[in-house]
Structure 1
Amino acid sequence: MTNSTATSGLARGIEAAFPAAEFEARLAAARNGLAARGLDAAVFTGPENIFYLTGQQTPGYYTFQCLVLPAEGEPVFLLRQLEVTNFLRNTYLPEYEAYGDGQRPAELVVDALAKRGLTGKRIGIEKGGWFLPIAFYEALAAVLPRIEDATGIVEAMRRVKSAAEIAKIEQSVRQADLGIQAGIAAVREGVSENDIVAEMMHAAIKGGAEYMGMEPLVSSGPRSGVPHATWRRRKLEAGDGVFMEMSGCYDRYHSGLMRTAWVGEPPALARELEKVVLAALDAAIGAARPGATCAAPHIAAQRIIDAAGMTERYRKRTGYSLGISFAPDWGEWQVASLHDTVDIPLEPGMCFHVVPALRDYGVFTIGISESICITETGARILGKTPRTIQMK
């Protein structure tokens, strides 16, 4: 089914996150990326890249959708029929094709390429993404003589945020502040992890948050010493540590905030880890400046941790890019990470969640983080929640 704006009684782009001119500029920049790789067209399937280029967003991205972007000529969006109304409200693209349940969307892609004279051309696909079904790739490979890798074209464009994007991330951080502060206020002996998360989500959503790319991470007592553990009805007891981390979400732009609370007085080891985490956080933020690379903040934090003799407690990256996210993540892991293996230069407009955490595994975690934006002179901290362990 081929459609145009004339088929809809809806105002086009009424819920778009940015003006039409912004998306036109992004599509033009993506075409430049295609040209740099010698591609005649690209098929984008990642929901984050699709949103960046078109504004399309839906929780229904679990069904197949893609943007076919020719190096010359107009793009076409392919999607499930049920999502068309959503598409019309969120985008300004004039051309789309919809498939019904029971149809095979891979055939629609092949047909769309053929109608645009692209069958024998160099076609790029995001081979490094999560949303490229094997059956879809095989169907294209059966009819296209050569499939190139388009991974990284849009991700590189997403690294440096515009002022409008940063404003959305700032709103997201404000929501995360509200959520974390509500969670800390709820901590006391006898309440459950579920009670804490309920307060966090209530505060963030009441503060304007949409559905997040990942659920909050909240755990208490021995469970708080398990990476990525989250709420499971446990009731807090005297002497428990409580780890909490969450993101806000504003027009699909995410943030991150991590804090630690305690029911009573933390043990001596917790206070020792807190000092090291705070020093590592300060060192990482201090090293996050234009002219350095993504490795610099991680190296600065790792140096503090190593000097304290806690190397074995820290075997991970120090941060990751913030921006557009859909489940299952709230970070832009595809865009950039703060780690000693990443030599991407830091530039003004880049945003990161800086996440040092030290654990007594299976006992407790001390995690304290900040969302930051790189400026001309260094890094600007976006959140406002106090960093130190909050005793309840």
Structure 2
Amino acid sequence: MTAPDDPLRGSEAVFPATEFRGRIARLQRRMEPLGAEALMLTGPENIFWACGRQTAGYFAFQALIVPLTGDPTLLVRRLELTGARTATWLRDIRIWEDGEDPAQALGAVIADLGIRRLAVERDGWFVSMALADRLARALEGVKILDGSGLAEALRVVKSPAELTAIRHAGRYAQAAMRAAIDACRVGTSENDVAAAMVGAAISAGSEAMAMEPLVSSGPRSGIPHATWRRRILQEGDGVFLELAASHDRYHAALMRSVWLGPPPNEARDMMATALRALDAALAAMRPGAPCSAPHEAAQAVVDAAGHAQAFRKRIGYSIGTAFAPDWGEGGILSLFTGVGRELEPGMVFHLPMTLRRYGAFTVGASETVIVTETGVEPLSDLPRDMALR
């Protein structure tokens, strides 16, 4: 447990205590209709958003207990205690020991807090089925309610402090992309390009990224989510580049295309279509428009050009705070057909507009944008057209 006068408390927190107090208060208001006495968060993104807790050791079980009134309680592995004290403003931090079942430790914390009605998020990535079974046994006698999606709904619209962090991340991503494009030369390896990209991002200010950058060339560039594997770049290759840089765990992503030598007519046509589609999607983004509108605008351009089979995905997804294995918040909100949620100022999205001939090449460009009162604010001014080397 953290002492009130702990000199480490909040010493490395990414935001002032007032930012997190406001988030907890909003979360508590959303809890009221559930009839729960507390909400348990286990996802690293939600825990970070609510209290600032971050570590490379988030693979070990952790839980944030947010009561309906009052201050939260955090449960972490003993090794993580110091980091939890420095990263958060919390006063009540409990621990579980190596060799101890964290489910039993959690049960003891819930009992000590006197909680009889507990809402839990059911879709956390880091609670296995086996652990979920043990948690259910440890919480026997506690009424379990569904608290899924409460934190995610609040994370979608970013605060001014969050937007500042994302703008920093956008600058890091642009520096990285410039370096990666410059590194694309015949005879250079994919590893060299990736090293230039990551090195530039880190030198510009980026912290750890929630997913590895994507660097692929030649036929490999036509495989979704392929990344560097020592291949030597050759004349006539297309090169696919994408990454998300981070600032205080907030991410901004960027994607560009490169061709070594003259691109074939098919690639030129698909690239031109992708750029028109991205422009159409961005033009469709304004407060009050549904999240489906940008996708449908892009899809119309792609369909009219005859490339529907090369575009079989959503146009974009929410992006913000992230931990591996994903740099996006695509599980929270997508820009896709059928998504009726209205766009609001302060939402942030990554729009990767790609067209792909599978197993041959991928072309396109992306932007991370902030929804404003009148439209969108792109976080990069890097030219979007295919770079020819």
When normalised by structure 1's length, the TM-score is: 0.96
Aligned residue in 1 for 2:367: 370
Q: Does 1:181 align with 2:178?
A: yes
**SS of equivalent to 1:301:** helix
Aligned residue in 1 for 2:80: 83
Contact 2:364–2:386 (CA<8 Å) still a contact in 1? no
Pick aligned residue for 2:27 from 18, 25, 30: 30
Pick aligned residue for 2:327 from 316, 330, 351: 330
Q: What is the CA–CA distance in structure 2 between the aligned matches of 1:27 and 1:271, rounded to whole Å?
A: 50
Q: Does 1:233 align with 2:230?
A: yes
Pick aligned residue for 1:130 from 121, 125, 134: 125
- The more displaced of 143-152 and 60-69 is 143-152
Give the aligned residue type for 1:5: A
Q: What is the CA–CA distance in structure 1 between the aligned matches of 2:350 and 2:226, rounded to whole Å?
A: 19
Q: What is the CA–CA distance in structure 2 between the aligned matches of 1:346 and 1:308, rounded to whole Å?
A: 27
Q: Does 1:162 align with 2:175?
A: no
Q: Against the structure 1 CA distance between its residues 15 and 339, is the aligned structure 2 distance closer, same or farther, given a 3 Å change threshold?
A: same
Q: How does 1:241-260 map to 2 (within 5 A)?
A: 241-260=238-257
Pick aligned residue for 1:5 from 3, 17, 24: 3
Measure how far apart 1:202 and its partner are.
0.7
Q: What is the CA–CA distance in structure 2 between the aligned matches of 1:390 and 1:360, rounded to whole Å?
A: 18
Q: What is the CA–CA distance in structure 1 between the aligned matches of 2:70 and 2:183, rounded to whole Å?
A: 55
Give the aligned residue type for 2:369: I
Q: What is the CA–CA distance in structure 2 between the aligned matches of 1:262 and 1:144, rounded to whole Å?
A: 62
Aligned residue in 2 for 1:314: 311
Q: What is the CA–CA distance in structure 2 between the aligned matches of 1:85 and 1:200, rounded to whole Å?
A: 33
**SS of equivalent to 2:191:** helix
What is the Cα-based RMSD across aligned positions, in Å? Answer: 1.2
- The more displaced of 22-31 and 128-137 is 128-137
Measure how far apart 1:11 and its partner are.
2.9
Aligned residue in 1 for 2:134: 139
Contact 1:126–1:132 (CA<8 Å) still a contact in 2? no
Q: Does 1:210 align with 2:237?
A: no
Structure 2, unaligned runs of 5 or more: none
Q: Does 1:54 align with 2:51?
A: yes
Q: What is the CA–CA distance in structure 1 between the aligned matches of 2:177 and 2:125, rounded to whole Å?
A: 30
Measure how far apart 1:135 and its partner are.
3.1
Q: What is the CA–CA distance in structure 1 between the aligned matches of 2:291 and 2:23, rounded to whole Å?
A: 24
Contact 1:155–1:334 (CA<8 Å) still a contact in 2? no
Which aligned runs of 4 or more in structure 1 are off by greater than 6 angstroms? none
When normalised by structure 2's length, the TM-score is: 0.97
Superimposed CA distance per residue, residues 145-176 of structure 1 (whole angstroms, 9 cap, x where no aligned partner): 53222111000111111111111111101111
Q: What is the CA–CA distance in structure 2 between the aligned matches of 1:36 and 1:57, rounded to whole Å?
A: 29
Count of residue correspondences: 387
Q: What is the CA–CA distance in structure 2 between the aligned matches of 1:37 and 1:311, rounded to whole Å?
A: 44
Q: What is the CA–CA distance in structure 2 between the aligned matches of 1:115 and 1:14, rounded to whole Å?
A: 28
**SS of equivalent to 1:260:** strand
Measure how far apart 1:108 and its partner are.
1.2
Q: Does 1:71 align with 2:77?
A: no
Q: Against the structure 1 CA distance between its residues 338 and 33, is the aligned structure 2 distance closer, same or farther, given a 3 Å change threshold?
A: same
Give the aligned residue type for 2:327: W
Measure how far apart 1:144 and its partner are.
3.6
- The more displaced of 223-232 and 126-135 is 126-135
Q: Does 1:297 align with 2:291?
A: no
Superimposed CA distance per residue, residues 241-285 of structure 1 (whole angstroms, 9 cap, x where no aligned partner): 000000110000001100000111111001000111001100100
Superimposed CA distance per residue, residues 183-236 of structure 1 (whole angstroms, 9 cap, x where no aligned partner): 000111000000000000110000000010000000000000000000000000
Aligned residue in 2 for 1:279: 276
Measure how far apart 1:386 and its partner are.
0.7
Q: What is the CA–CA distance in structure 2 between the aligned matches of 1:268 and 1:100, rounded to whole Å?
A: 62
Contact 2:275–2:364 (CA<8 Å) still a contact in 1? no
Measure how far apart 1:42 and its partner are.
1.2
Structure 1, unaligned runs of 5 or more: none
Measure how far apart 1:7 and its partner are.
8.4
Q: What is the CA–CA distance in structure 1 between the aligned matches of 2:34 and 2:323, rounded to whole Å?
A: 27
Give the aligned residue type for 1:191: T
Q: What is the CA–CA distance in structure 2 between the aligned matches of 1:67 and 1:352, rounded to whole Å?
A: 27
Measure how far apart 1:333 and its partner are.
1.6
Give the aligned residue type for 1:61: Y
Superimposed CA distance per residue, residues 23-55 of structure 1 (whole angstroms, 9 cap, x where no aligned partner): 111111111111122222111000000001000
Q: What is the CA–CA distance in structure 2 between the aligned matches of 1:296 and 1:311, rounded to whole Å?
A: 17
Aligned residue in 1 for 2:96: 99
Measure how far apart 1:334 and its partner are.
2.6
Measure how far apart 1:356 and its partner are.
1.1
Q: What is the CA–CA distance in structure 2 between the aligned matches of 1:37 and 1:343, rounded to whole Å?
A: 24
